Structure 1
């Protein structure tokens, strides 16, 4: 019977161990919930702080956007390089040639596709204009400056043709070309 008593005692101790295990599991679950809830509250508080920081950052980004509008008004110039032109000049003392490379400064970067679409017409007009000049007209600085102005007007007229008003006067177009720059200018 002594052997029977031991199992009975072990049986009574087993429920005590099970209750201790159950108590430990419940305490662990409560701790997990407490720490999880505390962590969630901490994260919510932290995100609320970040939301106010984000508002500060948003205010800071609004100010540069106002500056960006000013910068958009001061857009850096856009340059379009044209292939070189080689033409015969009007003869004065024998055959003379002009080889010139141009860069066009555009007012608006959005006008570049329009310029490229009309490039055959523009190149034709420039070639006709250049071949009608004499070397003596183009050699001085003033001659080159006048040529740049005439080229600018010719290119702008090719892109936006001039319009006549009711009186029959021709109103020149503004056009997208701001200036014509010579990158190479050779007369032989």
Structure 2
């Protein structure tokens, strides 16, 4: 009977040990599952934010159309020439549109003076037109004080260009 009591004691002691180990294992599994779920949530949120941020980057271009310019060109020996040109300005955002409208007299004056200082030979070629476009951009940005932070006019496009 002494052996039976020892077996009963051993049998009685074993189930609590198994339950303790079971709770320990379940606790560890629960903690790992929670950590895995938290990590999955975190990474899915950061992917959503980066996708949203990438979608915001491509902005719609903003353009300002200037009234048509008609000027006398400098005499180049082959007689008098006239230039009639339509210009659209590409600007960084809508606040620059307001600045362009506010400074329109200064901008038109600068562009008129620049255009009238050219000869027909200087602006007839593709290179001459591209150089003129860059000079107009520089001239327009002067009254806008747009050298800071890349704001202002970023492109000048000719919508019509007639030399007579």
TM > 0.5 fold call? yes
Partner in structure 2 of residue 100 of structure 1: 85
Runs of at least 5 residues in structure 1 that lack an aligned partner in the other structure: 1-58, 163-171
Per-residue CA distance 1:43-76 (angstroms, 9 max, x = gap): xxxxxxxxxxxxxxxx99xx4x764543332211
| Structure with bigger gyration radius | 1
Superposed CA RMSD = 2.5
Contact 2:96 2:151 in 1 (8 A): no
Q: Could you tell me which of 127, 132, 136 is aligned with 1:147?
A: 132
Contact 2:146 2:152 in 1 (8 A): no
Q: Could you tell me which of 103, 107, 116 is aligned with 2:101?
A: 116
Contact 2:73 2:117 in 1 (8 A): yes
Partner in structure 1 of residue 157 of structure 2: 181
- The higher-RCO structure (CA 8 Å, 6+ apart) is 2
Q: Could you tell me which of 65, 69, 75 is aligned with 1:85?
A: 69
- In 2 relative to 1, CA 152–173 (structure 1 residues): closer, same or farther, beyond 3 Å? farther
Distance 1:96 1:160 in 2: 33
SS in 2 for 1:113: helix
Equivalent residue pairs, number = 119
Normalising by structure 2, we get a TM-score of: 0.65
Contact 1:159 1:175 in 2 (8 A): no
Partner in structure 2 of residue 131 of structure 1: 116
Runs of at least 5 residues in structure 2 that lack an aligned partner in the other structure: 1-43
Deviating runs (4+, > 4 A) in structure 1? 65-68, 172-175
SS in 2 for 1:90: coil
Distance 2:149 2:56 in 1: 24
Per-residue CA distance 1:123-143 (angstroms, 9 max, x = gap): 000000000000000000000
Normalising by structure 1, we get a TM-score of: 0.57
SS in 1 for 2:157: strand
